[in-house]
Structure formats: structure tokens, C-alpha cells
Chains A and B, each alone.
Chain A
């Protein structure tokens, strides 16, 4: 079945460590996104990528890094510079419709919950 796979589902990190969250999609979507979810704050955009080898900062990119070397993959690294990394992280993708206009909805993975000890 087509979809988005995030791993790991749960991750524990010591302060000062970098961690990488995996996101893989087999929907043949061009655009991919990383959101952070905190209670009462909704979803906030960290990074997004419209095509391979290109990505843009979202609203809260500080302390995070991404790469987009393959269409199917958009890993997120939470660095030690991120001051409050404990959160639920959601990866999503969307299709590019003909003509470059993207009107489609986002498809989400099941999320990764990161806890800093």
C-alpha cells in the first residue's frame, strides 16, 4: 500500500545528542514537509521541500536540519542546538498537479515522538 512511513515511532535522546528522524514515502509525491506538534500549539512547519535537492525553512527551523537527496526520502535531524526538542514530529507529502499548482491535501505519516531525558 502507498503511504508515508516514519521511524522510529518513539525515540529518547540525551541532552547534547543529535538525532535523525526518518520519513519515506512511496506515493511519488514531489513535496514533503516536517511539522512539529506541541499540546495546545497545533502544527508548526519546520522545513519543506518541493523538489529533490531543494528545501526551504519553515516557521521554526532553528535547531533542525534536513536533506532531500531522493524523492522518496526527507530525513529530519534534531540537533543539540534545538533548546526544547521534546515533541511529536509529523512528516507529510503532497502531489504536484499539472502546471505546477499544488492544490492537493497533505498525506501524513504516523508521527515520531521524541523525548529528551
Chain B
């Protein structure tokens, strides 16, 4: 079975400071990893994904994420936070080695608040 953990329910940072939203995963095979963002009462928007290749993945709105196989982590980062980055962030994993090729499992989400 595949699973995702987002250990922090909330993250608070000051505008202009770097931000990190943590994610760890568990799969039986190789993972496909994703980050999504959700604004209030809206659907989820795709930010970035790791499939293979470089461990540092760059995505939308200046976000990036680093895949660490030994630590089974995929933390989301941004060098300088904006107030408009305040939202709910979800990490997700798909186990490409498992039988449920189409199934994407989500973490519980981390609420990011960027203070002016």
C-alpha cells in the first residue's frame, strides 16, 4: 500500500523568508510524486511532479521540490515567500510498481500562512 505523510498541519513564515513544506512517502516500488495547492473553496492546482531524473524539480510560481530517495521525502520549497502563497498544500504519490497504476494517494494537507 502507498501512503503519504505531511507532518505539519500548519506552517507560518514571514514574507520574504524561505519556506519549506514537508512530505514523506511510502511505496512498494518507485514513486511518482506530486505537489498541489488549493485556495479556499476551489479545486486543486498542480504545482510540480517528480517522475525520474534530477532530484530537484522546479514548478509553477517559483516553487521547487527535492526528491530524496534515502529519506523517502519530497519537501516543497520556495526561496522567498509571498503573502499570496498562503494556501493549503497537498503532497501526493503514485506507486508505479504497484497494481493500482492509476491511483493517487494524497497527504492530509499543510496550511501555509505567509505573514506580511
Contact = CB atoms under 8 A, between A and B. Distances in A.
Interface string B5-34: 000010000000000000000000000101
Given A108-B44, A108-B45, A42 B32 contact: no
B90 A102 contact: no
B43 A110 contact: yes
B104 interface: yes
A33 to B, nearest CB: 8
A90 B103 contact: no
B101 A102 contact: yes
Contacts of B34: 105-106
A102 B102 contact: yes
A25 interface: no
B56 to A, nearest CB: 18
Contacts of A58: 103
Given A42-B90, A50-B102, A105-B49, A111 B43 contact: yes
Contacts, number: 58
Contacts of A42: 90, 106-109
A50 to B, nearest CB: 5
A33 B43 CA distance: 13
30 contacts: A4-B43, A31-B102, A33-B104, A35-B106, A40-B9, A40-B108, A41-B108, A42-B106, A42-B107, A42-B108, A42-B109, A43-B44, A45-B105, A48-B102, A50-B102, A58-B103, A90-B44, A102-B94, A103-B51, A103-B94, A105-B34, A105-B46, A105-B49, A106-B34, A106-B44, A106-B46, A106-B104, A108-B45, A110-B42, A113-B41
Closest 3 CB pairs of A and B: A108-B43, A42-B108, A43-B106
